[in-house]
């Protein structure tokens, strides 16, 4: 270890004496480096570009997610079935139900009046649908441009059903089946 310390002391003494021997430069002279001066580049433009790139990637990601959500919402809308098909299916369900067999004509009339009101509303925008009273439905129905034959038929059906449902008028199975077939014929008609 002693040898190493002696070697280090010799080198330090040599450096100290070498710097002491340097004479100052004469006036007006300069010392030039072997290599040209290197300017440290400013990385401000690089950082701005990098930040803009990160913002663009984030904006693309969020916009893409938002557009995908909108597309999913559009796809999830239920497809409405044709009002004519719905009405005919409900009439067939009514005919197959036990209401006719049990002679519950009040309920049968209520069902096919609902079918008629709903069909007129969904197919032709007449009235407000099943929520309308018979009087409101007929008033709106009269304002709708239809043939006199259809008007008379609907008025007849609605009046007879009101008598059966609300006044308790006696009805026979043949009469109720005739009303149902008349409603079915109205639904099957191409245009009112």
String of DSSP letters for 47-74: HHHHHHHHHHHHHHHHHHHHHHHHHHHH
* CA-based nearest residue to 110, from 171, 192, 152, 153: 171
pLDDT tens-digit readout, 168-182: 888 888 888 888 888
Q: Please give the distance of CA 26 from its chain centroid, rounded to a whole number.
A: 86
Residues 6+ apart with CB under 8 A from 163: 169
CB of 122 closer than 8 Å to CB of 161: no
In this model, does residue 82 exceed pLDDT 80? Answer: yes
Reported as a pLDDT band with limits 50, 70 and 90, residue 47 is confident
Token look-up 């004509």 returns: 105
* Average of per-residue pLDDT across 152-180: 85
In this model, does residue 107 exceed pLDDT 80? Answer: yes
In the chain the first and final C-alpha atoms are separated, in Å, by 118
pLDDT score of 20: 59
Strands (E), the chain: none
In this model, does residue 108 exceed pLDDT 80? Answer: yes
């Amino acid at each position: 270890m002693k040898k190493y310390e002696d070697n280090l002391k010799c080198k330090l003494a040599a450096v100290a004496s070498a710097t002491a021997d340097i004479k100052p430069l004469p006036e007006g002279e300069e010392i030039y480096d072997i290599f040209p001066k290197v300017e440290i580049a400013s990385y401000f433009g690089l950082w701005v570009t990098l930040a803009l790139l990160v913002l663009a990637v984030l904006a693309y990601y969020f916009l893409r997610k938002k557009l995908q959500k909108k597309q999913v919402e559009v796809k999830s809308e239920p497809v409405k079935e044709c009002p004519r098909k719905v009405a005919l299916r409900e009439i067939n369900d009514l005919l197959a139900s036990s209401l006719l067999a049990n002679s519950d004509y009040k309920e049968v009339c209520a069902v096919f009046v609902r079918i008629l009101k709903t069909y007129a509303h969904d197919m032709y925008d007449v009235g407000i649908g099943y929520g309308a009273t018979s009087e409101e439905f007929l008033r709106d129905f009269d304002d709708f441009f239809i043939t006199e034959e259809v008007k008379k038929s609907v008025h007849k059906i609605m009046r007879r059903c009101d008598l059966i449902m609300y006044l308790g008028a006696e009805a026979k199975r043949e009469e109720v089946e005739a009303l149902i077939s008349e409603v079915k014929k109205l639904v099957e008609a191409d245009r009112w």
